[in-house]
A = this chain, B = another copy of it.
Amino acid sequence: MDLETHFFKWLKKTPIAKGIGDDGVVLSTSLKERFGVISTNSKDKVLALDLFSEGVHFKREWFSLKALAKKAFLVNISDILCMNAIPKYALLGLSVPKSFSLKECSLLEEGIEEVCLKWGIKLIGGDTISSNTLSFAITMIGETRGRVLYRKGAKKGDLIISSARVGSSYKALHSLLRGGNACKKSRFFQLSFNVGFFKNLTRFISVGLDISDGIYTECNRLSKLNQLDFKLFKKDKRYKSGEEYEWLFCCAPKYKVRLKRLAKRYRANIEILGRVKRGRSNYKDKKWH
């Protein structure tokens, strides 16, 4: 048993854990404005903390510093979006290598500014330290917009769908780890989210998450949580591909036509991967990180 699994098992039984298992957690809130207080509206808040670390999630030579800073934020933005919330605030814990020049530091800042401006995110706090490796710990706070999507809620008979064809991330990482080149258009480098598509989807889907650890791993998790078998139609090494940050969701078969129409409208190259059945899934998958 690896350490993360051990830790996760502990989280399941410790009395101090609450609401863990989704990409984010929901805290409800309402408007109140005053000196020094970040003014918020009456929408519930979704919180998520993700780490993005050199040697674990990336090697520095694979990305420009600007691209790294942006990706660190985008993987957290993905956590918020997949619960049908909109990212609003972030707290950033930044570990910068002692060897960094001020120029390198500025490149990070440019990346952070660019991604936060694009998404309308306000940086409201955090911490910075000099360290040996570059590492981002980001707490992202989003506001819900209607129905919140959880990992729990799948029903027997539901279709299992991904919002796009996955696999490019695996291919890129595989090649990089062997010292080769990788296609810069891969999801490993270029993250974009089909936000309009997902917003419309949330009206009729039952479960929503982002594919951060590969479809096999996510299906194993969904199976445990929903006590159902997330049965994929076929085996495919693309299903091992993590860091896709495409959406994985379930919907009742009666919505299939509506789903396909929506996908066409938003140019989403969706894939129907399988069906939820009675039982338990247990796909063999190596850890992505």
Contacts and interface: CB of A to CB of B under 8 A. Distances in A.
Interface of A: 1-4, 6-8, 10-11, 14-20, 22, 24-33, 36-40, 42, 44-45, 47-51, 53, 55-57, 89, 91-96, 98, 100, 102, 105-106, 109, 112-113, 116-117, 121-133, 135, 137, 139, 141, 148, 150, 152, 289
A1 B121 CA distance: 28
Contacts of A130: 2-4, 56, 289
B27 A29 contact: yes
B123 A11 contact: yes
B47 A125 contact: yes
B137 A96 contact: no
Nearest to A98: B3
A212 to B, nearest CB: 10
A289 B129 CA distance: 8
A95 B51 contact: yes
B27 A36 contact: no
Nearest to A24: B125
Contacts of A95: 51, 53, 56, 135
A26 B133 CA distance: 31
24 contacts: A1-B102, A7-B128, A16-B113, A16-B123, A18-B38, A18-B123, A19-B125, A25-B38, A27-B37, A27-B89, A27-B141, A28-B29, A28-B37, A28-B39, A30-B32, A37-B148, A47-B124, A49-B93, A49-B139, A50-B93, A50-B127, A51-B129, A91-B139, A129-B289
Nearest to A23: B125
A131 B47 contact: no
A92 to B, nearest CB: 7
Given A27-B89, A29-B28, A123-B11, A105 B51 contact: no
Contacts of A38: 18-19, 25-28
A29 B29 contact: yes
Nearest to A20: B125
A100 B5 CA distance: 13
A114 B136 CA distance: 27
Given A28-B37, A56-B129, A137-B49, A18 B124 contact: yes
A124 B20 contact: yes
Nearest to A29: B29
A130 B24 CA distance: 21
A46 to B, nearest CB: 10
Given A37-B28, A137-B93, A122 B18 contact: yes
Contacts of A100: 3
A47 to B, nearest CB: 6
A26 B53 CA distance: 28
A36 B148 contact: yes
